[in-house]
Structure 1
Amino acid sequence: MPALMIQGTGSNVGKSMLVAGLCRAARLRGLTVLPFKPQNMSNNAAVTEDGGEIGRAQALQALACGVAPHTDMNPVLLKPESEVGAQVVVQGKRLTTTRAAEYATLKPQLMGAVLDSFHRLKARADLVIVEGAGSPAEVNLRQGDIANMGFARAADVPVVLAGDIDRGGVIAQIIGTQAILDPADAAMVQGFLINKFRGDPRLFDDGYAFIAARTGWRGFGVLPWFPDAARLPAEDALDLARTSGGGPIRIACLALSRIANFDDLDPLKQEAGVTVDMVLPGQPIPGDATLVIIPGSKSTRGDLAFLRAQGWDIDLAAHRRRGGRIMGICGGYQMLGRSVADPMGIEGPAGETPGLGFLDVDTVMTADKRLTRSSATHCASGLQVSGYEIHIGRTDGPDCARPFALLEGRAEGATSADGRVTGSYLHGLFTDDAFRQAFLADLGAAPSALTYAAGVETTLDTLAAHLESHLDVAALLALAR
């Protein structure tokens, strides 16, 4: 079965969005299409139907294809735990934690798993659309590469190179990439496209022609900026908007240094009656916030230290004294307790860190990771909550007697005696429209008619139409081999 790979001139040039749009366009043409990314680096992960985890972007691309996410769609996932180290997830399961320098020696051993996953997907589909990682221009990383040209050549997949005109220098991005590629790598590139153009695309006609003449590559079009991109789940923390919405209910979320699964906030950002503020490092928590959310983290103890370094622990105490509410999700839930112990050094150096003390619970990190899709009953409202769990650690204590939800007959999460502080391991809980409306109503928000999942589907259709209007999609799909 044929495949096509979209690589980029750098990180965050829009590869994930392009692949999602192409997947939906191919599906609308009647093709069975599947997404694939050999190697991803992200702390925003999704739980798959086969009980593993993949990058959030591949889960969105699977949705664009109309299929459930599967670990084969992203066989290697790197989850940064520190400035120099990351957890390595292979075909959905944690393999090891390694430093960046050590990963270079591990990479070549992973190509077998990458190709196995890719070939299984090809056997299931009419077309596989592959997303590269970073840029093939990072030639210092070429040896043992499994993410870009190393994969493209091993799997014999043609490549289209995407450049980001919004960041400037797109002519140099594309021509410069060709100039430094190994000739055999450059031969895999069948053309280019320009992404994120603002204004009249005809103004770039001369630049577009110059790139084509200088590289000898075919151009597949200039894609204008897609304004509805914010309605789709983001994977990269660079995409976190500082402020979203303008409603009277103000929700502040702490931008932790190892923030994870921050797409939990996406449905809240689309509510007309809500303002979501990402509190960036060095900034105080807004004094008029109705609710403060401490989100997931890939390094709970490390981010507790980071939180205190920003003075947010002091702001949180003041917020609670004023009667404000606090919610912790996953790692944020662990931080709200009395202590977080990591006796085996799973997330970093072994030891114990005092928590914020807003919940009467304690957490102990364990080697087992819980990866599961979950459906629970919210205790306060009696409503069903669908989500997923992706965490290590066990949390227990007196406040667990007031659970956030009941999950498979057991208590999940904890609530303070005054009801103003809650913690839960459930990610994705705000995607349920009925629960989200009840939760916001309890904060004082007016009723809303937002249907989040339907909105994502509509946006994917709009994205596909956007690509069809401005790119030669038929020619792109015809490249696949």
Structure 2
Amino acid sequence: MPALMIQGCGSNVGKSMLVAGLCRAAVRRGLSVAPFKPQNMSNNAAVTADGGEIGRAQALQAIACGLEPVTDMNPVLLKPESEVGAQVIVQGKRLTTARARDYAALKPQLMGAVLDSFHRLRGAHDLMIVEGAGSPAEVNLRAGDIANMGFARAADVPVVLVGDIDRGGVIAQIVGTQAVIDAGDAGMVAGFVINKFRGDPRLFDDGYAFIQARTGWRGFGVVPWFSKAHLLPAEDAQDIGSSPRGLGGNDAVTIAALCFSRIANFDDLDPLKAEPGVNLVMVQPGQAIPGDARLVILPGSKSTRGDLAFLRAQGWDVDVAAHIRRGGHVLGICGGYQMLGQSIADPDGIEGPAGETPGLGLLDVHTLMTPDKRLSRVRGCHLASGQPIEGYEIHIGRTSGPDRARPFARIDGRPEGAIHVQGRISGTYLHGMFQSDGFRAAFLAGLGIDAAGRSHSAEVEATLDLLADHLETHLDVPGLLALAR
């Protein structure tokens, strides 16, 4: 069955969004389509129907295809735990934690799993749309490559190269890529796309023609900036806004979320960001937590003890204490929940150096890191409101202590999470819970915020349709799909 690969001139050029839009456009043509990303690096993960984990972008692309996400869609997932090391997930399960230099030696051994997943999906669908990672111009990483040209050549998949004009230098991005990759890799490229254009695309006609003439590659169009992109789950930490204020109106209530150095699953916050009554502020390193925040969220982290030290280095522990004295609310999600407790012990050094770190002491619980990882989709009831709640758990560590006698929710018949006796400080392992519309409305009502009554899942579906419309208008979509072989 045919396949097409979208590679980029760099990270965050919009590959994931283009693949999602092309998947939806192909599905609307009556095709059975599946997304695929050989190797991803992200701490935003989703739990799949077959009990593993993949990158959040591939889960969104699966939705665009009308499919349940499965681990074959992203057979290798790297989850950074430090500046030099990452957890290696292969076909949904943790294989090891490797330093960057050690992973280079491991990559060739992973190509078999990548091709196995690819061919299994390919045999079940009419079309595969593949997403690369980073850039093929990173020729220092070409040996043993499984993410870009190494995969494209092994699977014989034609490539379309995407340049990001918003960051500038797009002509050099594309022409320079051709200049540095070898002739065999360049021969896999069938054309290019210019992405994220602001203003009148005709102003780039001369640049577009220059790229075609200089490279000999066919241009498939110039895509203007897609203004609704913020309504779709983001994967890259670069997508976290650096604005000191959120998107809500002047009367919106401020909710502040801390941007940890190893922040994970920050798409948990997307449904809140889209609420007009909420001003979601992503607090960046070096910034103070806004004094008018009604709720402070400690989100997930891929390195809980490391990010707890990072939190203290920013002075956020002092800000959180002041926020509580003012009567504010605090919610910890996953790693953030662990930080709220009395201590975090990692005797086996699973997330970093072995040892124990004092927590913030805001919940009377203790966490012990254990080798087994909990990966499950869950549903249950939020106890304070009685509203049904759905989400997923993806964590290591077991949390126990007196405050668990006041659970946040009941999941599959068991108590989950913890609440402080005065009721304003809560912790939970549940990711994705704010996608449950009734729960989100009840939770916000408890903060004195009126929800808009919107359906988050319906909004994502509608935005994917708008994205497909956007690409149909500005790209030669039939020409792109005809490239697949």
TM-score w.r.t. length of structure 1: 0.99
Matched, 1:323 2:331: no
Structure 2 equivalent of residue 292 of structure 1: 296
In structure 2, distance between residues paired with 1:168 and 1:447:
39
Mapping of 1:332-481 within 5 angstroms?
332-481=336-485
Which residue pairs with 1:23 in the alignment?
23
**Structure 1, residues 28-70: CA drift from partner, whole Å, max 9, x if none?**
0100000000000000000000000000000000000000000
1:248 Cα shift?
Answer: 2.6
* Counterparts of 1:13 and 1:307, CA distance in 2: 30
The residue number in structure 2 matching 1:40 is 40
> In the aligned structure 2, how far is the partner of 1:385 from the partner of 1:365?
26
Distance 1:477 1:407 in 2: 44
Aligned residue number for residue 152 of structure 1 = 152
> How far is 1:155 from its partner?
0.1
For 1:218 and 1:288, the matched residues in 2 are separated by 53
| CA distance in structure 2 between the partners assigned to 1:380 and 1:81 by the alignment | 34
- Indicate if the aligned counterparts of 2:21 and 2:64 stay in contact, CA closer than 8 A: yes
Aligned-partner Cα distance in 1 for 2:312–2:240: 22
CA distance in 1, matches of 2:19, 2:121: 16
After superposition, residues 235-274 of structure 1 pair within 5 angstroms as 235-241=235-241, 242=243, 243-246=246-249, 247-274=251-278
May I ask how many residue pairs the two structures share in their alignment? Answer: 481
> Is residue 278 of structure 1 aligned with residue 271 of structure 2?
no
2:418 and 2:426 in contact (8 A); partners too: yes
Report the AA paired with residue 278 of structure 1. Answer: M
**2:311 counterpart residue number:** 307
Once the two structures are overlaid, the 10-residue window that deviates more, 301-310 or 241-250, is 241-250
Alignment-mate amino acid for residue 333 of structure 2: I
Which residue of structure 2 aligns with residue 221 of structure 1? 221
Paired-residue identity, %: 76
Q: Once the 2 structures are TM-superposed, how far is the Cα of residue 245 of structure 1 from its aligned partner?
A: 2.0
Check whether the contact 2:260–2:311 (CA below 8 A) recurs between aligned residues.
Answer: yes
Shift of 1:409: 1.1
Instruction: Give runs of aligned pairs for residues 39-118 of structure 1, distance below 5 A.
Output: 39-118=39-118
Residue type matched to 1:464 in 2?
A
Q: Tell me how far apart the structure 2 counterparts of residues 248 and 184 of structure 1 sit (CA, whole Å).
A: 55
SS state at 2:228 partner: helix
- Equivalent position amino acid for 1:282 in 2: G
Query: What one-letter code is carried by the residue in structure 1 that aligns with 2:100?
Result: A
SS in 1 for 2:276: coil
Paired with 1:152 and 1:244, the residues of 2 have a C-alpha distance of: 40
CA contact (8 A) 2:409 2:415 kept: yes
Q: Work out whether residues 419 and 427 of structure 2, in 8 Å CA contact, stay in contact via their aligned partners in 1.
A: yes
Q: 1:418, 1:265 → 2: CA distance? A: 25
Q: Distance in 2 between matches of 1:315 and 1:193?
A: 45
Q: Give the match's secondary structure for 1:313.
A: helix
* Residues 334 and 429, structure 2, Cα contact 8 Å, conserved in 1: yes
Structure 2: runs of 5 or more not aligned:
none
Specify the code of the residue in structure 2 equivalent to 1:319: H
Give the distance between the partners of 2:478 and 2:103, measured in 1 at CA: 39
Q: CA RMSD in A?
A: 0.6
- Displacement, 1:447? 4.1
Deviation string 1:195-230 (CA, Å, 9 cap, x unpaired) is: 000111111111101100110011101111100000
Q: In structure 1, what is the equivalent of residue 178 of structure 2?
A: 178
In structure 2, what is the Cα distance between the partners aligned to 1:230 and 1:447? 18
The corresponding residue for 1:13 is 13
- Matched residue SS, 2:220: strand
Residue identity in the other structure for 2:13: V
SS in 1 for 2:67: coil
Q: Given residue 439 of structure 2, which amino acid in structure 1 is its aligned partner?
A: F
Q: Give the deviation of 1:450 after TM superposition.
A: 1.5
How far off is 1:446 after superposition?
Answer: 2.1
CA contact (8 A) 2:275 2:451 kept: no
Structure 2 CA distance for aligned equivalents of residues 389 and 287 of structure 1: 31
Structure 1 alignment gaps of length 5 or more: none
Letter in 2 for 1:454: A
Q: CA deviation at 1:172?
A: 0.7
